[in-house]
Chains A and B, each alone.
Chain A
């Protein structure tokens, strides 16, 4: 059944997030031949519209307003509801990002709709659209369907492949003017703490440290390796509890659940709660002094050794590889 689906595109640090393109791909599957309309919301975001077309959106609707400079659930929900009123979609796809997680339940409630969060796969099976999502932070998975006609999902970054970028795609870009009022929460300031790093949830490579890193300074070689690989640094709960790094870096059942292409675990023993957050990574490398460490059970490749020797050597080798290729 063809249905019209809208997606919310997200801009971060001056560029569209990959998950916005992945949401378009998911929307294409959900639309089953219907139209996919990408929505851009912000103070000045018109310039990103074409890129969304190149990634497969049939049309783009832009809502610009100075009150939408920073995300607030009140502001963005007014913008989205105006688009939904005008477009009357039968499906919605957001990224399962901080913004998507915060906004989607509000919109779903306004629409009196269900919401399937954190979807990693969309398929058509037996006449139904079936959505796969992790439960227990990836210790298990569930397949869900909606019992209403309306479909609303958020998609986890890095899981549903985006369409090939194609500059020959064309589509209409239109503006919708929305009066934004009564914002009950006001963003006074945003403090960037992730300037040097790549965002964990979207990183292709993650170098993570555990108790074996021993100190905050101990994370330096890991940062160096992550830099060489263009990746992000993460940590186990042990490392965060010990104060070696900020809780925002924590990976595990409490913390972030990640699925990068490459996960390098350094001095991490592999507690069940940590494994829940990373064991669905495509390739896992474990570096640990203890050959009996649990982490080796989920690792594709393991090196038994001192991370302070291995990690700098690895960084050197990857540098050489970069020079050669």
Chain B
């Protein structure tokens, strides 16, 4: 089976956001594989181990993303592709990223493409479905269970807490939801092997794309932090009295109940 995983490098979830000159500062920040993409990678490995084939993990970014690609290889992916857009793309949005990925994938005959259902930085969840639509293949988002039997695919997806049972077929793109699996940690032999696995670097030129072809359709004009919360009130006294006071405050002062 020809399997592809779409991966994004993101800030660690424990990072605080600092804004410098109107941009989110990356100084000293820890980066990780987007947590939802980790589920996608793990699922890809399980599918390959069961059905055979090869996994290529693909990212659009800059050379820094090599580290996360190596981690994906250490987990068990077979090949990595970095589409380095640092020199070519100044402003990108989900349209840009999807277009680049689809252009890369269009002649690769993928059977299965996996991605995270959302990236924890931008948080739009657009790229997966956009890529599927550009490739003309079906997609299922927020998947919590994936079973492949020949060409038939049975899926459970999370819909705001309810479960939908879906039947579909390959080729297919799915986006991973939490609960799909328990991503493995790279093993030491895995890390050693990853160093020798192929990591290909491409630029827009290699995909016959011009900067204009992938020009963003939306533009960020300002980034700001939420207003700092003032320290709240810790109630005092007997517990029962605190509870009475709290209910009264919520009712009369905060007016939320």
A residues touching B (Cβ–Cβ < 8 Å)? 70, 73-74, 97-99, 101-102, 104-106, 108-110, 113-118, 130, 133-148, 184-194, 197, 199-201, 205, 229, 246-250, 252-255, 257, 261-262, 271-273, 276, 279-280, 282-286, 291, 296-305, 309-310, 313-314, 317-318, 321
In the complex, the answer to whether B257 meets A205 with C-beta atoms within 8 Å is yes
In the complex, the answer to whether A137 meets B120 with C-beta atoms within 8 Å is yes
B residues touching A (Cβ–Cβ < 8 Å)? 11, 13-17, 19, 24, 35-36, 93-95, 98, 120-130, 132-134, 138-142, 158-169, 177-179, 215-226, 229, 231-235, 239-240, 242-244, 246-247, 249-251, 254, 256-257
A300 in contact with B254 given A106-B133, A147-B217, A314-B243 (CB within 8 Å): yes
Minimum C-beta distance from A109 to chain B (A): 4
Question: Which residues of B are found within 8 Å of A246, using beta-carbon distances?
Answer: 161, 179
In the complex, the answer to whether B229 meets A298 with C-beta atoms within 8 Å is yes
Query: Roughly how many angstroms separate A197 CA and B160 CA in the complex, as a whole number?
Result: 11
Measured CB to CB, the nearest residue on chain A to B11 is A136
Q: List 23 A-B contacts (CB under 8 A).
A: A98-B142, A105-B133, A114-B218, A117-B124, A136-B11, A136-B121, A137-B120, A139-B17, A141-B225, A144-B219, A145-B218, A147-B219, A184-B138, A187-B166, A253-B13, A272-B14, A291-B234, A296-B232, A296-B234, A302-B235, A310-B242, A313-B239, A317-B244
In the complex, the answer to whether B126 meets A283 with C-beta atoms within 8 Å is no
Of B93, B121, B142, the contact of A135 (CB 8 Å cutoff):
B121
Per DSSP, chain B at the interface is mixed
Question: Which residues of B are found within 8 Å of A317, using beta-carbon distances?
Answer: 243-244, 246-247
In the complex, the answer to whether A313 meets B243 with C-beta atoms within 8 Å is yes
A302 in contact with B122 given A148-B217, A253-B13 (CB within 8 Å): no
Question: Which residues of A are found within 8 Å of B247, using beta-carbon distances?
Answer: 314, 317-318, 321
Query: Roughly how many angstroms separate A117 CA and B121 CA in the complex, as a whole number?
Result: 13
In the complex, the answer to whether B17 meets A142 with C-beta atoms within 8 Å is no
In the complex, the answer to whether B242 meets A262 with C-beta atoms within 8 Å is no
Excluding A145-B219, A199-B161, 4 further A-B contacts by CB distance (< 8 Å) are A106-B129, A141-B226, A280-B226, A313-B239
In the complex, the answer to whether B257 meets A318 with C-beta atoms within 8 Å is yes
Interface centre among A143, A144, A301 (most CB of B within 10 A): A301
Minimum C-beta distance from B148 to chain A (A): 14
